[in-house]
């Protein structure tokens, strides 16, 4: 089989960066070059302050950078030299045109593919790492083959990434499985084997699954749809709990003890966020519609609709509890990232919640340990509105700590499950209580607080999935 000696990765984002850094860390015999068009992102990867926060990432990058791990904007050179190229560029939901709001925008994948076709002077294995609709490899193959000749061939593989932000390095070092799809032809299977051998440097071979191309592409969308569906299912049940006196944590535990169901991903919350779940399900919905399967499309669409409902329901509960008005009330927002241990805010539930609170003329004071002030204002600005930051700054302030955020506040809303917000881990809730307006409310949107302890201090505590006490 072909032995991979040089890897190039197009796209130095949340996926391309950590994935290829781990390959370099585990395969000292392979040179790995990560390329991006975005110069400041590459500069950050080459600096002491990496562009993304991910526990354990620094150590791995600092250890291999300059040895067999390189970050550059020199696309041509890197593609020319590589035997295997990962395409790990962004595939956001289309904003306009056919399929707007549902379909994945494949413009970046296509332009990356064309770049490869234009530059390559020798045979390459091209690997889809980005999450793409089923049968995208076909389009990539058509573009590449139109540019190949008897001296150059392109083999296409699908190798979707299953890492979760916040635990990316551990997920990459100890993956549940690695999935590699390829055409089931002798050449396709040879290419597949070449990538299997890269992962086999550290992943047990029984965890490396090989399938046909289309199964691999669809499995990524399917896995995210199934994961998000569990969250929407438990969130739907949380609404029933609030109305009946059942407790969602108890229900989730009782159900999760059934080994057929299992305990993971059954935590109720203000709703899922992140760049992937919503995008990938909408992508699956669009695919189903294209395949003339409207019932299937409607089924998966409901997972996203329920998520929106959950956020709205939480906002209504906050407003209703605060005596039906939050005008000029101070609301402390604990957490802005879409989950703990990441600085990523893409599709974060906190964005929707804050926008709704601002609409109601509340004063919002936000604290997140990893998200920058600029990012928060960017996320809260309405696209197309010319500079509404000034207006926004009347309503929104950024705090440097949970204490600063809750000073004089009427209510605290927990939007991200950062460990530092947990009672008696780090925060002194008595101190927080003393400095708040009374009655002092806490809304736990992540089920991380010990409500009893907080009530003993004097707080009025409202928790997702529990009736008001
Ligand atoms: P990202 O937006 O962080 O990174 C993508 C990078 O690609 C950007 O820095 C962009 O400048 C660069 N890029 C675009 N076109 C390029 C080109 N032609 N040449 C070189 N660089 C180019 O996106 P992220 O989060 O890394 O996601 C990438 C893909 O991986 C998406 O398809 C996503 O759905 C998928 N994915 C993401 C996961 C996540 O947790 N973020 C997990 C699993 C899959």
Question: Separation of 463 CA from ligand 1 center, angstroms?
Answer: 35
Q: Is residue 237 part of a domain?
A: no
Judge whether 233 lies within some domain: no
Token pair for residue 183? 């055409």
Q: What is the helix (H) or strand (E) element at residue 296, kind and residue range?
A: helix 294-321
Please identify, by atom number, the ligand 1 atom nearest to the C-alpha of residue 344.
41
**235 found inside a domain:** no
52: nearest Cα among 332, 275, 383: 275
In 49-152, which residue ranges form alpha helices assigned H by DSSP?
Answer: 57-64, 75-81, 107-119, 136-145
What is the Cβ-side half-sphere exposure of residue 467, based on CA atoms within 13 angstroms?
7
178 and 48, same structural domain? yes
Q: Which residues are annotated as a binding site?
A: 11-16, 36, 41, 89-93, 130-131, 161-165, 220-224, 260, 267-273, 276-279, 338-339, 346, 446
Tell me what pLDDT residue 285 has.
Answer: 97
Instruction: Kindly state whether residue 114 falls inside one of the protein's structural domains.
Output: yes
Domain boundary among 203, 235, 253: 203
Cα–Cα dist 437/263, whole Å: 38
Q: Ligand 1, from 14, 130, 171, 224: best to mutate by most atoms within 8 Å of Cβ?
A: 14
- Domain CATH number, residue 323: 3.40.50.720
Q: Is 276 a catalytic residue?
A: yes
Alpha carbon distance 172, 47 (integer Å): 23
423-450 burial, b if ≥16 CB within 10 A, otherwise e? beeebebeebbeebeeebbbbbbbbbbe
Give the whole-angstrom CA distance, residue 192 versus residue 248: 44
Q: Please tell me the pTM assigned to this model.
A: 0.95
- With vertex at residue 383, the alpha carbon angle to CA 382 and CA 384, rounded to the nearest 5 degrees, is 110
Q: Are residues 194 and 46 in the same domain?
A: yes
131 C-alpha to center of ligand 1: Å? 9
Tell the residue nearest (CA) to atom 12 of ligand 1.
Answer: 11
The total of structural domains in the chain comes to 2
Asked if 42 and 158 sit in the same domain, the reply is yes
Residue of 10, 33, 89 with the most ligand 1 atoms within 8 Å of its CB, for mutation: 89
- Dmax over CA atoms of the chain, in Å, equals 78
DSSP state of 177: -
**Same domain? 190 vs 330:** no
Which residue numbers belong to the known binding site for substrate?
Answer: 161-165, 220-224, 260, 267-273, 338-339, 446
CA of 358 to the centre of ligand 1 (A): 31
- Ligand 1 centre from 12 Cα, in Å? 7
Full residue range of the structural domain in which residue 333 is found? 277-463
Residues 157 and 281 occupy one common structural domain: no
| Residue range 78-132, pLDDT digits in tens | 999 999 999 999 999 999 999 999 999 999 999 999 999 999 999 999 999 999 9
Show the CA angle centred on residue 110, arms to residues 105 and 113, nearest 5°.
150
- Atom 37 (ligand 1) nearest CA: 15
| Final residue in a domain of this structure, among 186, 203, 220 | 203
Question: 469 in a domain, yes or no?
Answer: no
Q: Enumerate residues lining ligand 1, CB below 6 A.
A: 10-16, 35-38, 41, 75, 88-91, 108, 111-112, 115, 130-131, 161, 163, 165, 275-276
Strand partners of residue 9: 34, 86
Distances (CA, A) of 215 to 139, 184, 207, 233, 394: 16, 12, 16, 25, 51
Residues 290 and 408 in one domain: yes
pLDDT recorded at residue 149: 78
Residues 106 and 20 in one domain: yes
How far are the Cα atoms of 178, 199, 436 from residue 207, in angstroms, in the given order?
6, 10, 52
Residues 57 and 195 in one domain: yes
Report if residue 211 sits inside a domain. no
ipTM for the predicted complex comes to 0.98
* 175 contacts: CB under 8 Å, gap ≥ 6: 162, 163, 203, 207
Do residues 301 and 229 make contact, with C-beta atoms less than 8 angstroms apart? no
Shared domain check, 282 and 184? no
User: Taking a C-beta distance cutoff of 8 angstroms, is the pair 182, 213 a contact?
Assistant: yes
Whether residues 171 and 298 share a domain: the answer is no
Q: Where are the alpha helices (DSSP H) in 162-247?
A: 168-173, 186-199, 213-244
Q: Residue 130 half-sphere exposure, CB side, CA atoms within 13 Å?
A: 29
Domain boundary pick from 145, 170, 203: 203
Edge-first strand listing for the sheet containing 69-72: 69-72, 31-35, 6-10, 84-87, 124-128, 154-158, 178-182, 208-212
Same domain for 354 and 459, yes or no, is yes
In-domain check, residue 159: yes
| Per-residue pLDDT in tens (0 to 9) along the chain, 469 residues | 679 999 999 999 999 999 999 999 999 999 999 999 999 999 999 999 999 999 999 999 999 999 999 999 999 999 999 999 999 999 999 999 999 999 999 999 999 999 999 999 999 999 999 999 999 999 999 999 888 777 899 999 999 999 999 999 999 999 999 999 999 999 999 999 999 999 999 999 999 999 999 999 999 999 999 999 999 999 999 999 999 999 999 999 999 999 999 999 999 999 999 999 999 999 999 999 999 999 999 999 999 999 999 999 999 999 999 999 999 999 999 999 999 999 999 999 999 999 999 999 999 999 999 999 999 999 999 776 656 777 888 999 999 999 999 999 999 999 999 999 997 667 899 999 999 999 999 999 999 999 999 999 999 999 999 998 7
Q: Which residues of 101-113 are buried (b: 16+ CB within 10 A; e: fewer)?
A: ebbbbbebbbebb
- Is 221 part of any domain? no
Q: Strand ranges (DSSP E) for 239-393?
A: 330-334, 363-367
């Amino acid at each position: 089989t072909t032995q991979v000696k040089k890897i190039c990765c197009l796209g130095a984002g949340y996926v391309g960066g950590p994935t290829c850094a781990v390959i370099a860390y585990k395969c000292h015999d392979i040179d790995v070059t990560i390329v991006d068009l975005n110069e400041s992102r590459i500069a950050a990867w080459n600096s002491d302050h990496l562009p993304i926060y991910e526990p354990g990432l620094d150590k791995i990058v600092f250890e291999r950078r300059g040895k067999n791990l390189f970050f550059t904007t020199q696309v041509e050179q890197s593609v020319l030299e590589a035997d295997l190229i990962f395409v790990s560029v962004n595939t956001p939901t289309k904003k306009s045109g056919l399929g707007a709001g549902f379909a994945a925008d494949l413009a970046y994948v296509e332009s990356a593919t064309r770049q490869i076709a234009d530059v390559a002077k020798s045979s390459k294995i091209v690997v889809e790492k980005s999450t793409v609709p089923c049968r995208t490899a076909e389009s990539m193959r058509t573009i590449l083959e139109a540019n190949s000749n008897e001296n150059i061939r392109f083999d296409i593989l699908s190798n979707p990434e299953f890492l979760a932000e916040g635990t990316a390095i551990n997920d990459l070092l100890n993956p549940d499985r690695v999935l590699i799809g390829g055409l089931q032809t002798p050449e396709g299977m040879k290419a597949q084997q070449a990538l299997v051998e890269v992962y086999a440097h550290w992943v047990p071979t029984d965890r490396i699954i090989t399938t046909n191309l289309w199964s691999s592409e669809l499995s990524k969308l399917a896995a995210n749809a199934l994961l998000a569906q569990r969250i929407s299912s438990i969130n739907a049940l949380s609404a029933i709990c609030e109305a009946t006196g059942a407790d969602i944590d108890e229900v989730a535990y009782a159900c999760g003890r059934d080994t057929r169901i299992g305990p993971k991903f059954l935590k109720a919350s203000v709703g899922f966020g992140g760049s992937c779940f919503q995008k990938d399900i909408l992508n699956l919905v669009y695919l189903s519609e294209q395949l003339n399967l409207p019932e299937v499309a409607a089924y998966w669409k409901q997972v996203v609709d329920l998520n929106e409902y959950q956020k709205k329901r939480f906002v209504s509960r906050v407003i209703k509890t605060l005596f039906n008005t939050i005008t000029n009330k101070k609301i402390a927002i604990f957490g802005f990232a879409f989950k703990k241990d990441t600085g990523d805010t893409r599709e974060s539930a906190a964005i929707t919640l804050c926008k709704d609170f601002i609409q109601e003329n509340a004063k919002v004071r936000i604290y997140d340990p990893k998200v920058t002030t600029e990012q928060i204002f960017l996320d809260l600005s309405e696209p197309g509105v010319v500079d509404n930051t000034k207006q926004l700054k009347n309503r929104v302030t950024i705090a440097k700590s949970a204490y600063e955020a809750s000073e004089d506040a009427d209510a605290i809303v927990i939007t991200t499950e950062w460990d530092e917000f947990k009672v008696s881990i780090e925060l002194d809730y008595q101190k927080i209580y003393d400095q708040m307006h009374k009655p002092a409310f806490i809304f736990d949107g992540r089920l991380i607080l010990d409500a009893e302890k907080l009530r003993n201090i004097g707080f009025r505590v409202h928790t997702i999935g529990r009736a008001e006490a």
